[in-house]
Structure 1
Amino acid sequence: MTARPDQSPVPVGAPKPAGRPVDAVDLGIPTVRGERSATVRTPAFDEHHPPSRELIDDCVHCGFCLTTCPTYQLWGEEMDSPRGRIDLMRAGTEGAPLTESMVGHFDACLGCMACVTACPSGVQYDRLFEQTRAQVERNVDRPATQKGLRALIFNLFPYPERLRVLRGPLRLAQRTGVLGLVERTGLVGRVSPELEVMQSLAPRLGPRVELPERTPASGPRRAVVGMLTGCVQREFFGDVNAATARVLAAEGCDVVAPRRQGCCGALSVHIGREEEGQGFARRLIDTFEEAGVDWVVVNSAGCGSTMKEYVHLLADDPDYAERARHFSERVRDLSEILVELGPVAPRHPVAAEGTEVAVAYHDACHLRHAQKIVSQPRQLLRDVPGLSLREIPDADICCGSAGTYNILNPVPATELGDRKAATILSTGAQLLVTANPGCLMQITRALERAGRPIPFVHTATLLDASIRGELLV
């Protein structure tokens, strides 16, 4: 059994019967056995896009989602499963109050969308989740500490220029050993476990890499692509952006990376900050329309997933609805566009001649489940000579990163990270590859805790090394 952070241990038993209605205990309503969870709002949802009753009614409570839901796997609690949360949404649309208990179950969801892949009925949990998160974010007055933490996150991470200011002192602290000393004291953790997680996740920083606004194609031009440089990706993983541009150029693309581009809004949308996310989306659409590109290429799974959903995010905006639809249709993940174009640049081994390297590919949830991109990155890896691809067991289960989830919910995120590290290590892989910076930071830390770190790179980094004939292992 596993303890849910806000509950006593819950035994993992048989799921509740299909079609079972939400009872009073689930909703925190007073019963003989317990007291009511404090009401946050009555009725639960306001009139601005509450969870769609039509989409809610698609759920038949079959239970196929349970085996792929990270929080159900951790706690075995029905209300922390997708169908349980859908029951809570249904109750809210029927006039039940929004209670602290309900908010806790909604907050506990990682939004990994593994349930969407698993569902045989095609339930659009992703749309329901987005609608519900926005309701919670608007209508819940959180404790001061949570407000402060969220203010820190959303006044920092979506702004590359602010991250750039932080980058210098952080790199200095890493190089001088000050950061390691602070970590060993445990002082930050005693002040705030969430800040301690932020500190521990920071990647080892090298010199900052600034991408040129235009990188010309090598050889005959096949396409003109815009490139999202991102926020954390731009400032903490600039080498990945540079590798991405080189790979695209080697495959015949002019790469346009406008300096004025900002955040795509993924973090904001994922947590329910709807208006904020819409503002970021409008500015990004403006930027790439002016750039005049054929496609917009993304090397971060979470960003790409949100950008492909601008059509829903801006559906009510008469000035942007059609522009958002056109924009979303042109968004491509790096692996997606490379497979669509077909490779022309030769690939070389990334290990010493004659050495076969076992490589494991970690599926970022927003690539595998939200964008349904599974075969393309594997196809690209198989094209690299000397690589032997090994599949990770339970690949459907999230690593616990999930945007800001590992900061806001450090306990379950850490357990999920440790579970993911164990399954990765079971493959015997000598090299690990992924397509999302959040996953890279989360799993790197988990492998370090396990005492068995292995080389871990972005897909772009591996392809760039192969095209340039450089060794990674």
Structure 2
Amino acid sequence: MTELFGQSSFDSQHPPERELLDDCVHCGFCLPTCPTYQLWGEEMDSPRGRIYLMDLAERGEIGLEGAFTQHIDACLGCMACVTACPSGVQYDRLLEATRPQIERNVERRPSDRLFRNAIFALFPYRRRLRVAAVFGQAYQKSGLPKLMERVLPPRLRATQALLPPVRLREAFASLPRRVRPKGSVRRRVALLSGCVQDVFFHEVNAATQRVLAAEGCEVLTPRQQGCCGALELHAGRSGSAADRAKRTIATFEKLPVDTIVVNVAGCGSSMKEYVHLLADDPDWADRARDFSAKVRDVTELLAELEPQAPRRRIEAKVAYHDACHLGHAQGVRDQPRAVLRTIPGLDVVDLPEAELCCGSAGIYNLVQPEPAAELGQRKADNVRTVAPDLLVTANPGCLLQIRRYLDDDIPMLHPVQLLDQSLNGKPT
């Protein structure tokens, strides 16, 4: 249970900063972009409402249990409000200071705690995910999913629905440790292969290596790398996230590379935040700053490089979905579109309500399945309005979430997969 420290309901370990709380002037520009406010119209489920709750808790006027935790848990952490705010309120910093307070000081219901612990006992571990992939394929082929859909509780029903089609050959495949370009080396880079990404979206990693090599990059992919800590960081488990950050830094900093490339929006966002996560650790602060400065989304890097490899023409209308942790958290919006437009014949279109999250948001669609389902259906409906030939987005969570509600009507790809098809003729 929450203990009061002085006048604050927060403990003394990195509470939300008073000066950041005071930046909010409660103007309301964030309201149209906030997914939960759009769903429910409740002030306490808007960014300014949640900042008001943080302010009250910081003053010790309310505790962290009950309504406070409910409204903070309901936030997707999509950071659309950060983009919309004219006052420069750093809601991202406030939220990532508040969620660890809840995780440390609020006792969750046993079922909630068990479910969350199960998520973090599986997803950050590649070997465990591969074992799960074996059982997942057998489960999908058994016919049980349709039967169980009627009896499973909402969280497990969402987990089942989000399970991607399992391809064991890809789940157990290994990426080459080094891929060299055919011509001169324009850039030496290291690739984060990820955990969920490498097991369930291995083809995206392989396409990333091929595309970067075609554009003159030497690509190193260290075999011993692990989870970057993104899911834990965004869920308030800052201690374990910091441990994973240190291991990731130690793995990559010794490589002779100019850039660390990420093809997952949530991972890239977290890796750029290591500089804040480890700022108070004297042994890691400088190393984290140097590491974060090297991190680039793959579309950022490709947009920096003048295209050199010839592109085959692809006649298609492509809808681009901005993953929140790429567009809002990292501010990377123009680069993916610019990269896609280097493909001759491609018509790249934006979606209505592009600023609204699809409902994936890390583990949100697992722990908050009802609002996630509403947002997923809303995003799918918006995709259909532009009648694209295919949809592209730069985050595996978004691919899984939107695929659930598109019902395979529209093919979905990562941007590098489409570019790989144009450069190398690889099937998508």
- Same fold, judged at TM 0.5 (above): yes
**What is the match of residue 80 of structure 2?**
114
Code of the aligned partner of 1:145: S
Choose the corresponding residue for 1:56, options 5, 21, 24.
21
- Structure 2: runs of 5 or more not aligned: none
**Is the Cα–Cα contact under 8 Å of residues 3 and 11 in structure 2 kept in the other structure?**
no
Q: CA deviation at 1:217?
A: 1.8
CA distance in 1 between counterparts of 2:302 and 2:418 reads 14
**Is the Cα–Cα contact under 8 Å of residues 406 and 413 in structure 1 kept in the other structure?**
yes
**What is the match of residue 84 of structure 1?**
49
Choose the corresponding residue for 2:119, options 153, 156, 181.
153
CA distance in 2 between counterparts of 1:137 and 1:103 reads 10
**What is the match of residue 427 of structure 1?**
386
**What is the match of residue 27 of structure 1?**
none
Deviations 1:268-288 (A, max 9, x none): 000000100000000000000
Code of the aligned partner of 1:163: L
Code of the aligned partner of 2:372: A
Choose the corresponding residue for 1:460, options 402, 409, 416.
416
CA distance in 1 between counterparts of 2:274 and 2:287 reads 9
SS of equivalent residue, structure 1 residue 423: helix
* Identity within the alignment, %: 56
**What is the match of residue 372 of structure 1?**
331
For residues 148-297 of structure 1, what are the structure 2 equivalents within 5 Å? Answer: 148-174=114-140, 177-178=141-142, 181-186=143-148, 190-206=151-167, 207-208=169-170, 209-297=173-261
Structure possessing the higher radius of gyration over alpha carbons: 1
4+ residue runs over 4 A deviation? none
Code of the aligned partner of 1:469: G
CA distance in 2 between counterparts of 1:340 and 1:128 reads 32
Deviations 1:220-256 (A, max 9, x none): 1011100000010010010110000000111111111
Number of aligned residue pairs: give it. Answer: 421
**Structure-1-length-normalised TM-score:** 0.87
CA distance in 1 between counterparts of 2:259 and 2:234 reads 24
- Structure 1: runs of 5 or more not aligned: 1-38, 351-355
Code of the aligned partner of 1:404: I
Is 1:304 the counterpart of 2:268? The answer is yes
Choose the corresponding residue for 1:129, options 95, 116, 134.
95
CA distance in 2 between counterparts of 1:172 and 1:185 reads 15
CA distance in 2 between counterparts of 1:267 and 1:232 reads 11
Over the residues paired in the alignment, what is the CA RMSD in angstroms?
1.3
**Structure-2-length-normalised TM-score:** 0.96
Choose the corresponding residue for 1:141, options 98, 107, 116.
107
Q: CA deviation at 1:344?
A: 0.9
**What is the match of residue 340 of structure 1?**
304
Bigger shift: 214-223 or 273-282? 214-223
Is 1:405 the counterpart of 2:364? The answer is yes
Code of the aligned partner of 1:201: L
CA distance in 1 between counterparts of 2:95 and 2:250 reads 27
CA distance in 1 between counterparts of 2:137 and 2:201 reads 13
Q: CA deviation at 1:357?
A: 1.3
CA distance in 2 between counterparts of 1:297 and 1:92 reads 39
Code of the aligned partner of 1:411: E
CA distance in 2 between counterparts of 1:421 and 1:383 reads 26
Q: CA deviation at 1:41?
A: 4.5
